[in-house]
């Protein structure tokens, strides 16, 4: 399938990174990017988003595990990565969604103590579970969908090629190609309803896969090349920016 993020590769990368940190190594973003043959932005996203639940911090441009922490809850660090990330993500997704997810994870995890805490501030999508399931199914099958999309002053009927359900700054979006112009667009998930899967298949491209993988906010565009921005800030607040560097 052309559209399929290599989740095994992502999981392998996160597991290796966490194992290195757990062994006391200090990791540099650039070195990790070279080791895994991905962009520095992807590694930054690993540390700042995908591994946010773990007790890691950045010191002098190197990432470290906080002293006194050791991942010994599970003999398999890969299991720990999957379950802890899933649990923290679901906690911010709404009461209904979170309750169902945590009940399932609890059966798997059998763990009464979790020392990690992360407040991700994601909006409640508990009332959109049906839509999420339909979209997930369409993305996996690579089939077009029809749906109703609520605009500020009207509703529109759309035919889309769904690529990804994404969370940017706490809000959920569907990233999809509009069949009218085949342009990549972002649709606020809560405004989507009446989803129907079609029998029309489509194929994404490697370029789109890479663009989606490296996107850090909803404002990305396939027509705009990434560019470097230099900020001049006072030393008093520099430490807050370095955490995202």
Instruction: List pLDDT tens digits, range 158-196.
Output: 999 999 888 877 788 999 999 999 888 999 999 999 999
Let me know whether 80 and 171 are in one domain.
no
Per the domain annotation, does 33 fall within a domain? yes
Let me know whether 152 and 105 are in one domain.
no
Let me know whether 11 and 105 are in one domain.
yes
Let me know whether 134 and 48 are in one domain.
no
Q: Is the dihedral of CA 84, 190, 130, 133 positive or negative?
A: negative
Let me know whether 133 and 84 are in one domain.
no
Let me know whether 53 and 134 are in one domain.
no
Output the domain CATH number for residue 99.
1.10.10
Per the domain annotation, does 238 fall within a domain? no
What pLDDT sits at residue 75? 46
Query: Is 217 in contact with 168 (CB distance < 8 Å)?
Result: yes
Let me know whether 92 and 142 are in one domain.
no
Let me know whether 85 and 134 are in one domain.
no
Query: How far is 24 from 21, CA to CA, in rounded Å?
Result: 5
Let me know whether 101 and 130 are in one domain.
no
Residue 74 has pLDDT above 50, yes or no: no
Per the domain annotation, does 54 fall within a domain? yes
What pLDDT sits at residue 159? 97
Query: How far is 162 from 176, CA to CA, in rounded Å?
Result: 4
Q: Which stretches within the chain are classed as H helix?
A: 7-22, 29-36, 40-45, 77-91, 95-109, 129-141, 206-214, 235-242
Output the domain CATH number for residue 204.
2.30.30.520
Query: How far is 163 from 203, CA to CA, in rounded Å?
Result: 10
Per the domain annotation, does 232 fall within a domain? no
Residue 21 domain boundaries: 7-109
Residue 71 has pLDDT above 70, yes or no: no
Number of domains composing the chain:
2
Let me know whether 104 and 131 are in one domain.
no
- The pair of three-digit structure tokens given for residue 40, joined into one six-digit string: 């520095």
Per the domain annotation, does 40 fall within a domain? yes
Average pLDDT over residues 215-238: 69
Per the domain annotation, does 181 fall within a domain? yes
What pLDDT sits at residue 219? 61
What pLDDT sits at residue 87? 61
Beta strands in 29-75 (DSSP E): 56-59, 62-65
């Amino acid at each position: 399938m052309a559209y399929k993020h290599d989740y095994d590769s992502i999981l392998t990368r996160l597991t290796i990174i966490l194992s290195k940190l757990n062994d006391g190594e200090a990791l540099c973003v650039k070195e990790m990017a070279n080791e895994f043959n991905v962009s520095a932005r992807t590694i930054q996203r690993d540390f700042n988003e995908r591994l946010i639940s773990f007790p890691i911090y950045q010191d002098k441009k190197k990432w470290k595990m906080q002293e006194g922490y050791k991942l010994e809850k599970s003999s398999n660090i890969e299991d720990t990565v999957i379950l802890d990330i899933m649990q923290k993500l679901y906690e911010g997704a709404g009461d209904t969604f979170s309750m169902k997810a945590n009940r399932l994870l609890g059966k798997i995890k059998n763990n009464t103590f979790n020392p990690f805490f992360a407040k991700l501030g994601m909006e409640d999508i508990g009332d959109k579970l049906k839509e999420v399931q339909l979209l997930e199914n369409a993305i996996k099958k690579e089939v077009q969908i029809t749906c109703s999309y609520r605009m500020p002053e009207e509703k529109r009927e759309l035919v889309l090629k769904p690529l990804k359900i994404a969370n940017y700054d706490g809000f959920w979006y569907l990233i999809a190609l509009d069949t009218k112009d085949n342009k990549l667009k972002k649709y606020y998930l809560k405004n989507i309803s009446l989803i129907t899967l079609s029998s029309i298949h489509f194929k994404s491209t490697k370029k789109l896969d890479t663009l989606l993988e490296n996107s850090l906010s909803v404002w990305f565009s396939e027509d705009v090349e990434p560019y470097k921005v230099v900020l001049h800030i006072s030393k008093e607040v520099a430490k807050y920016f370095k955490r995202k560097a």
